Amino acid sequence: MSAGMKTPENAVAVVGTDTGVGKTVVTAGLVGWLREEGYDARAIKPVQTGYPPDDDAAFVAEACGTDRAATCCRRLEPALAPAVAATVADEPLSYDSLLENVAAELDAATPGVVEGIGGLRVPLADGRDVLDLVADLGVPAVVVARSGLGTLNHTALSVSALRRRGVDVTGIVLNQYDGASLAERTNPDALAEMVDFPIHTLPSFSVAEPSAAVSAVSAALPRSIFDEILPTDRV
């Protein structure tokens, strides 16, 4: 953290093994779940690329039925990693500013859910990446991954990277889990042995109505994923 910044007390990061693995869906589900329980939860997207077609904060807000449920600190048009998108768009992008803005938004949320950008090593700015941001914020993380073939390697490497930086992993979610292939059916147990951590599965469902994410996540995932970051007061 930068000098004078405090570690957020009521916050969690939702990170992914890659882009398109379901971070936004899980983020929307967690924030909506928390808001239904009376918390003033809010999703924070540090930077959105591919905007306006891609707008993760807008999806979360729609899923939760209120603009207060999500915010985005910075938007860039090129659908690229933030550091690359800023260069292509010829726009300034500062890692320290991103870190400070996210920390300020987390301080105003009770609790806050930071949604990552792509995978952990996606470059943000100034030689820093998503992993740096999560570690510098000092918040625990939920890892979202694909359910099928290839997820063992990607997920185990992501968990190892987080642990090396001292980030507490509070949950691993295999998204769009239908058990349709042998790899899918064996992956949860195999991964649990590799990382020595319980694995949770989130079945496929339609996101045509974003609010479906809230009911799906609350039905599939255990409350322990966010218990340790809940404030004592509700709205």
Does 49 belong to an annotated binding site? yes
Does 148 belong to an annotated binding site? no
Does 118 belong to an annotated binding site? yes
Does 20 belong to an annotated binding site? yes
Does 16 belong to an annotated binding site? no
Cα–Cα distance measured from residue 235 to residue 233, given in angstroms and rounded to the nearest whole number:
7
6 is catalytic: no
Does 87 belong to an annotated binding site? no
Please report the DSSP string for the chain in residue order. Answer: --TTPPPPSSEEEEEESSTTSSHHHHHHHHHHHHHHTT-B-EEEES-B-STTT--HHHHHHHHHTSGGGEEES-B-SSSS-HHHHHHHHT----HHHHHHHHHHHHHHSBSEEEEEEEETT-EEETTEEHHHHHHHHT--EEEEEESSTTHHHHHHHHHHHHHHTTPPEEEEEEES----SHHHHHHHHHHHHHHTS-EEEE-----SSTTHHHHHHHHHS-THHHHTT--S---
Cα–Cα distance measured from residue 7 to residue 27, given in angstroms and rounded to the nearest whole number:
20
Does 229 belong to an annotated binding site? no
Does 175 belong to an annotated binding site? yes
Q: Which of 35, 42, 45, 74 is catalytic?
A: 45
Does 176 belong to an annotated binding site? yes
Does 117 belong to an annotated binding site? yes
Does 116 belong to an annotated binding site? yes
Residues annotated within the binding site for substrate are: 49
Residues annotated within the binding site for ATP are: 20-25, 56, 115-118, 175-176
Q: State the catalytic residues.
A: 45
Residues annotated within the binding site are: 20-25, 49, 56, 115-118, 175-176
Residues annotated within the binding site for Mg(2+) are: 24, 56, 115
